[in-house]
Amino acid sequence: MPEQMEMTMAEIAQQVRVRNQAIRLQVIRILVILLALAFWQYADGRWIPDFIISSPTKVAVRLFTEFKTGSVWVDIAVTSEELVLGYLIGVVSGTLIGLILGFWQSAAVVFEPLITAINGIPKVALAPLFLLAMGIGIWSKVAIAAMTVFFVMFYNTYLGMKTLPEPLIDVLRLMGAKRPTIVRKVVFPSITPALLAGLKAGVPFAVIGVVVGEFVAADKGVGYQIRYATDMYDSAGLFAGIIILLAMILIAGGLLSWLEQRALRWRTK
């Protein structure tokens, strides 16, 4: 009984230390952000011209004005639609191709080098091709975002398939397990971390794809507004657009972190 009590107290102390360490880490992060903002505010107009960096206060005023008037909501809605569609298409297609080539090694020998070669082409160079084929509407940006996410998900899925526990699969086959059982009991639990890593890494790539498309040719969207602000030497508008994109990435990352926690909890059951 005393030993159990001592272990319980030790566990509580460890939890308190971990919580205090997490609080200290958050405080340090907040202080770093505040110091960076203070430096930015002081440098504006003193060390760096205002039209280059603006200032945190001016950016905050611009964001408040845009959200108050509602002018920014249309751009956010357009970019969000392009982002979600491109992300989903890229995730589904990249995961499926990764699974297929992971199971079908003879096809992987043929197609994997081709996919690698295509991935080596700068996505900015391919953006005009999609715009010529699909116009300046949302689908050209969806295609660019889907292409960038596809490669992330493909390589994460394919490499996850390459590192499957083959001895365990062989044992299950000897015991008479069918392929669906092997996929459900071994393949998916084994590649779950790789899939989740690809899902989280794909978000900023999807944003990059959408913004690149909006930079090249668009009449709506956050990327379009950033490009327009740049052309007008409107640094406050430029940083306001960047902050909106950052917020979108953080929201998507938070949702995926929640999904990751639930998926890993299911994986351990």
The model's pLDDT over 125-151, given as tens digits with 9 standing for 90+, comes to: 787 888 888 877 888 889 999 999 999
| C-alpha dist (Å) from residue 67 to 72, 188, 241, 246 | 6, 43, 12, 16
Residues 86, 183: Cα–Cα separation, whole Å? 27
Are residues 76 and 37 part of one domain? no
Q: Which domain holds residue 24?
A: 1-43
Residues 56, 185: Cα–Cα separation, whole Å? 52
Are residues 98 and 231 part of one domain? yes
Closest to 123 measured CA to CA, from 199, 206, 227:
206
Half-sphere exposure of 1 (CA within 13 A, CB side): 0
Are residues 200 and 76 part of one domain? yes
Are residues 152 and 247 part of one domain? yes
What pTM, to 2 d.p., does this model score? 0.80
Are residues 17 and 94 part of one domain? no
Are residues 124 and 73 part of one domain? yes
- Mean pLDDT for 115-134 is 82
Asked whether residue 49 carries a pLDDT value surpassing 80, the answer given is: no
Q: Domain of 210: which CATH number?
A: 1.10.3720.10
Are residues 142 and 36 part of one domain? no
**Percentage of residues in the chain having pLDDT higher than 90:** 14
**Percentage of residues in the chain having pLDDT higher than 70:** 83
Are residues 232 and 165 part of one domain? yes
Are residues 154 and 78 part of one domain? yes
Q: At CB < 8 A and 24+ separation, what contacts does 235-243 make?
A: 235/50, 235/51, 235/52, 235/53, 235/54, 236/54, 236/55, 236/58, 236/59, 236/61, 236/62, 237/62, 238/54, 239/53, 239/54, 239/59, 240/59, 240/62, 240/63, 240/66, 243/59, 243/63
Are residues 67 and 11 part of one domain? no
Are residues 235 and 111 part of one domain? yes
Are residues 91 and 61 part of one domain? yes
Domain count, the chain: 2
From 43, 60, 77, give the residue that closes a domain. Answer: 43
